[in-house]
Amino acid sequence: MNSKYVDVAAIIQVIGNVYNNVSLLDNENYHFNEEDFPNEFHKIIFGSIFNLHALGAKEITINAIEDYLEQRPNKYAIYKLNKGAEYIQRVSEQTQLATFDYYYQRMKKFTLLRMYDNCGINISSLYDIDNLLDSKKKQAQEDWLDNTSLDEIADLIDKKITDIRLKYVDDADNAASQAGEGALELVERLKETPELGYPLFGPLINTITRGARLKKFYLRSGATGTGKTRAMIADACSIACDEIYNSLEGRWENNGTKEPVIFISTEQEKDEIQTMMIAFLSDVDEEHILTGEYAAGEWDRVLKAIQVLNSCPIYIEQLPDFSLKDIENTIKRSIREHGTKYIFFDYLHTSMKILSEVTSKTGIKGLREDNVLFMISIKLKDICNQYGVFILTSTQLNADYITAQQYDQNLLRGAKAIADKIDAGMIMLETSQDDLKALEPILRKGGFEPPKMKISIYKNRRGRYKDVLLWCRANRGTCRIIPMFVTNYQYELIPIQDLKINVKPNPASNF
């Protein structure tokens, strides 16, 4: 579809400047694609320059362009028909490097407007290309375009689309309501269907959290090496995969439905995540998988685990250097393409890209790490509410955890304010010798094996269990953390029943 949203002058300036200064293509602040050049002749000229540079050319000449195009007769014919050599010479003389950024931004803005226009979205209220008579309106729209960033334009149009969806699809209403309105229906609905989410892996944890509830944001922090990623992988696989091997029973057992899950990795490579997932599903120590040395029956279980992984809606995305926009776009794409409702983000930290993005948006240089981490947590909680999804992420701990007696948000490295936005806050720690000594009466009376790990529940919105410790068996090799019993911080046993959440089949799943 042809669009009217084309600024030929801006395109000419971009082509001329890049021809004169091909090093602009190495600048990471500038990105180009074919859609920036809707005219085939312009596309041929710029594409030749771009490809010659990619092939190693440090300087571009008309002769080099023509030599390149001679090997491509169809494109060369268009080039000759439009008197390409004369055109390049003319634009080369008419452009100035000092104006490049302005024209580059203008070209990209018209590309954005053109893409929306091609999708059938009416954007004339923002920029009316057909307006020829109203000079004041024309000038006002030109000023708006020049002074509005690409992100702001996209956000403005996306907001219009979202507002339509909220009103006509989601039936959202921003008006205040009387406090008692719908209260009876609410409690009757909760009576029939309590507020529970999809079960997380292991006993007792679902009693405390009531499962992975949609629109909720959970944070499970831990010191380096405690198994934060492995615990997260266990939960992700437990939600997405319908079969898990039970070593106690010696068989594969049904694990409910297959809910779409995305695991977003910020550090591990895909194959590192895959071996942990296989280890969890098969209950085969990851070390055996990495060395290729299996005990009797383990190889068959690993093959079965791979089959389960292939048949289930669990997806891996790597974001080693991310911005807030990258996080949101990754989640939105997964929701759109896979119907994802459960997001596991491993793990919360700053990056060069996000620092650059936040500095650019706020105009403030040298923002502290705690400010940036708090902004990430706000964004993740907003995504939970806006898209109706569950998010679990993790953070590192500061050095205070070594001597702490209270395991709460004050131990979070970088920003304890992260905890302001979460619905459930947990801290994973290894069991100390002092812990084992204090637990001796409980272990002896209850017949429990000595726990290797404790999980502190320091925040739990709409939950009765808070400021408690969940004591666990832990096998990091299989990513399986098994809670055994609960105490308060004074090592006093708290009676607790294991909540079994029954999952109804999902008729919409095509896996």
Buried b (16+ CB within 10 A) or exposed e, 281-312: bbbbbbebbeeeeeeeebeebbebbeebbeeb
pLDDT of residue 433 exceeding 70, the answer is yes
Q: Which residues contact 199 (CB under 8 A, 6 or more apart)?
A: 206, 211, 212, 238, 239, 256, 500, 501, 503
pLDDT in tens, 42-58: 999 999 999 999 998 88
- Report DSSP state, residue 472: E
Torsion sign over Cα 357, 363, 366, 371: negative
For residue 97, the model assigns a pLDDT of 92
* Spatial contact of 429 and 454, defined as CB atoms under 8 Å apart: yes
Rounded distance, CA 332 to CA 317, Å?
A: 13
pTM, whole model, 2 decimals? 0.71
* Spatial contact of 236 and 273, defined as CB atoms under 8 Å apart: no
- Reported as a pLDDT band with limits 50, 70 and 90, residue 305 is very high
- Report DSSP state, residue 502: P
* Spatial contact of 67 and 32, defined as CB atoms under 8 Å apart: no
Buried b (16+ CB within 10 A) or exposed e, 364-381: eeeeeebbbbbbbbebbb
Q: What is the mean pLDDT of residues 335-361?
A: 86
Average pLDDT in the chain: 90
In angstroms, how far is CA 236 from the centroid of its own chain? 14
Q: 390, 388, 394, 86: which is closest to 238 by C-alpha? A: 390
pLDDT of residue 415 exceeding 80, the answer is no
For residue 382, the model assigns a pLDDT of 92
pLDDT of residue 360 exceeding 90, the answer is no
* Percentage of residues in the chain having pLDDT higher than 70: 94
Q: Is 147 exposed, middle or buried (0-12, 13-18, 19+ CB in 10 A)?
A: exposed
Residue type, 41: F
pLDDT of residue 510 exceeding 60, the answer is no
* Spatial contact of 306 and 227, defined as CB atoms under 8 Å apart: no
Q: What is the mean pLDDT of residues 468-496?
A: 96
Give how far Cα 447 sits from Cα of 439, 485, 488, Å: 12, 11, 19
Q: 229, 231, 194, 226: which is closest to 213 by C-alpha? A: 194
pLDDT in tens, 174-200: 556 788 888 888 888 888 878 899 999
Q: What is the mean pLDDT of residues 371-394?
A: 91
* Spatial contact of 287 and 486, defined as CB atoms under 8 Å apart: no
Bridge partners (DSSP) listed for residue 340: none
pLDDT of residue 171 exceeding 70, the answer is no
For residue 237, the model assigns a pLDDT of 97
7 or 366, which is more confident: 7
pLDDT in tens, 79-106: 999 999 999 999 999 999 999 999 999 9
Rounded distance, CA 486 to CA 511, Å?
A: 37
**What domains lie within the chain, and their CATH numbers?**
8-120 (1.10.860.10), 200-494 (3.40.50.300)
- Reported as a pLDDT band with limits 50, 70 and 90, residue 505 is low
Rounded distance, CA 96 to CA 103, Å?
A: 10
pLDDT in tens, 229-253: 999 999 999 999 999 999 999 999 9
For residue 384, the model assigns a pLDDT of 95
Q: What is the mean pLDDT of residues 111-117?
A: 90
Q: 507, 504, 511: which is closest to 197 by C-alpha? A: 504
Rounded distance, CA 323 to CA 346, Å?
A: 14
pLDDT of residue 170 exceeding 60, the answer is no
- Report DSSP state, residue 296: T
For residue 256, the model assigns a pLDDT of 83
Cis peptide preceding 347, ω within 30 of 0: yes
Rounded distance, CA 240 to CA 260, Å?
A: 6
pLDDT of residue 226 exceeding 70, the answer is yes
132-141, 212-221, 357-366: the lowest-pLDDT one: 357-366
- Report DSSP state, residue 431: P
Q: Is 182 exposed, middle or buried (0-12, 13-18, 19+ CB in 10 A)?
A: exposed
Q: What is the mean pLDDT of residues 418-432?
A: 93
For residue 371, the model assigns a pLDDT of 78
- Reported as a pLDDT band with limits 50, 70 and 90, residue 28 is confident
Q: What is the mean pLDDT of residues 270-296?
A: 96
Q: Which two tokens stand for residue 106?
A: 């203008």
- Reported as a pLDDT band with limits 50, 70 and 90, residue 425 is very high
For residue 293, the model assigns a pLDDT of 95
pLDDT in tens, 391-404: 999 999 988 998 88
